Amino acid sequence: MTQRQVPFFNYRALFEAQEQELTAAVVDVMRRGAYILQQDLADFEQRLREFLGVKYAFGVADGTNALIIALQAAGIGRGDEVIVPSHTYVASAASIHLAGATPVLVECRDDHMIDPAGVRAAITGRTRAIMPVQLNGRTADMDEIMGIASEHGLKVIEDAAQALGSRFRGRFAGTFGAAGTFSFYPAKLLGCFGDGGGVVTNDDAMGERLALLRDHGRNERGEVVAWGTNSRLDNLQAAILNVKFRTFGAELDKRRRLAAQYDEGLRDVPELLLPPAPGADPRHHDVYQNYEIEADRRDDLRKHLEQQGVRTIIQFGGKAVHQYEGLGLTQYHLPRTELLYRRALLLPMNTSLGDEDVGYVIDCIRAFYGRG
């Protein structure tokens, strides 16, 4: 087997793949001097609305601010509890804290999505909302989550930062609850060249509040009518996203092909737990923001792959939200999530990869477990 270099993510390749179109779009924005709340942003918001089939979409500063604004627009704040999985990026829980509410952490299941049984068990008299996190390009079982929410009169704010284009029963991640949020961080499914985020809703009152919140509480006439903040997606980033949207569908298809290749190459290795394969459950249309496996002897496997030129990552710095000492949530005991963090590994999964790269990663893993 000849050695290859397989980076985890190739940031430079994002530009190289569409250099001329991207350069033209950026230069055009700068020649027009069109930086804040301009046409490119309006166009991007329209594209996002059409893609998801939603009534309102706003480009905002980043995925974290999208969550904060969504919670605020839903009226969630001091004294309220919001249920969120502990297997997530710290931003999900932080947004709840920063909105003034308390994050209540729950377990995930074998597909790494929020555990509905855990949600049920965590409901108290103060619970106001559930924040399912649509991780790794998969959408949680939203029949169960929406069922629990309606039974208990709870709002659902979806963190779909990792799931633009993912569907459950044909419906897009981010479009189930009161609001859904996205991140356009460069390594996300649809990435810009800096920070960026989006928030969507079908609810008129939510739409109105989100529009005010992201621009200093100003209405279309520029009058301040409410408290708001500054959270506007840069017009320059919107112009970049408009270019990247053209190839987005094909990129999602490619991720699903690479995931199928990983699945085929690794599914008979008993030391591994793989993500559900594309199409394994027809209710789920996964788009593989990440390919997160669980592996016996994870740390040794990781070292072996590194020696073979394959870069991997342990998601979120290798810790669940309740395992960060500084956040004061270490009282939680979530055994499934803790097991996951001893075993989880992200294999390279991005649109710059070729079949040969994925084939090589598969060969290296099989060799490690003596299953060549």
The residues of the shown chain that bind ligand PLP, judged by CB under 6 A, are: 62-64, 88-89, 91-92, 133, 159, 161-162, 183, 185, 195, 197
Q: How far is the CB of 162 from ligand PLP (least distance, A)?
A: 5
The answer to whether 141 and 168 are in contact (CB under 8 A) is: yes
161 vs 347 by CB, closer to ligand PLP:
161
62 vs 357 by CB, closer to ligand PLP:
62
Q: How far is the CB of 151 from ligand PLP (least distance, A)?
A: 26
86 vs 92 by CB, closer to ligand PLP:
92
Q: Evaluate the CA torsion angle 39, 45, 50, 56 in order and state its sign.
A: negative
Structure tokens at 231: 């959270």
Q: How far is the CB of 125 from ligand PLP (least distance, A)?
A: 27
From residue 182, alpha-carbon distances to 58, 195, 303 in Å are: 10, 11, 33
**How far apart, in whole angstroms, are the C-alpha atoms of residue 117 and residue 110?**
13
CB count within 10 Å of CB 203 equals 17
**How far apart, in whole angstroms, are the C-alpha atoms of residue 90 and residue 319?**
9
Q: How far is the CB of 96 from ligand PLP (least distance, A)?
A: 12
92 vs 127 by CB, closer to ligand PLP:
92
Q: How far is the CB of 64 from ligand PLP (least distance, A)?
A: 3
Structure tokens at 189: 């499914």
**How far apart, in whole angstroms, are the C-alpha atoms of residue 248 and residue 191?**
10
For residue 172, the SS3 value is strand
The residue of the chain with the least Cβ separation from ligand PLP equals: 63
Q: How far is the CB of 15 from ligand PLP (least distance, A)?
A: 19
159 vs 357 by CB, closer to ligand PLP:
159
**How far apart, in whole angstroms, are the C-alpha atoms of residue 37 and residue 321?**
34
Q: How far is the CB of 288 from ligand PLP (least distance, A)?
A: 14
316 vs 360 by CB, closer to ligand PLP:
316
Q: How far is the CB of 63 from ligand PLP (least distance, A)?
A: 2
266 vs 345 by CB, closer to ligand PLP:
345
189 vs 301 by CB, closer to ligand PLP:
189
Q: How far is CA 329 from the centre of its chain?
A: 23
Q: How far is the CB of 33 from ligand PLP (least distance, A)?
A: 26
Residue 188: half-sphere exposure toward Cβ, Cα within 13 Å: 28
Written as one string, the DSSP assignment of 175-244 is: SSSSEEEEE--TTSSS--SS--EEEEES-HHHHHHHHHHTBTTB-TTS-B-S---B----HHHHHHHHHH
Bridge pairing between strands 197-201 and 127-130? unpaired
74 vs 301 by CB, closer to ligand PLP:
74
17 vs 98 by CB, closer to ligand PLP:
98
CB count within 10 Å of CB 151 equals 10
- 152's CB contacts (< 8 A; 6+ apart) are 123, 127
The one-letter amino acid at 223: E
Q: How far is the CB of 62 from ligand PLP (least distance, A)?
A: 4
The answer to whether 93 and 321 are in contact (CB under 8 A) is: yes
**How far apart, in whole angstroms, are the C-alpha atoms of residue 118 and residue 370?**
37
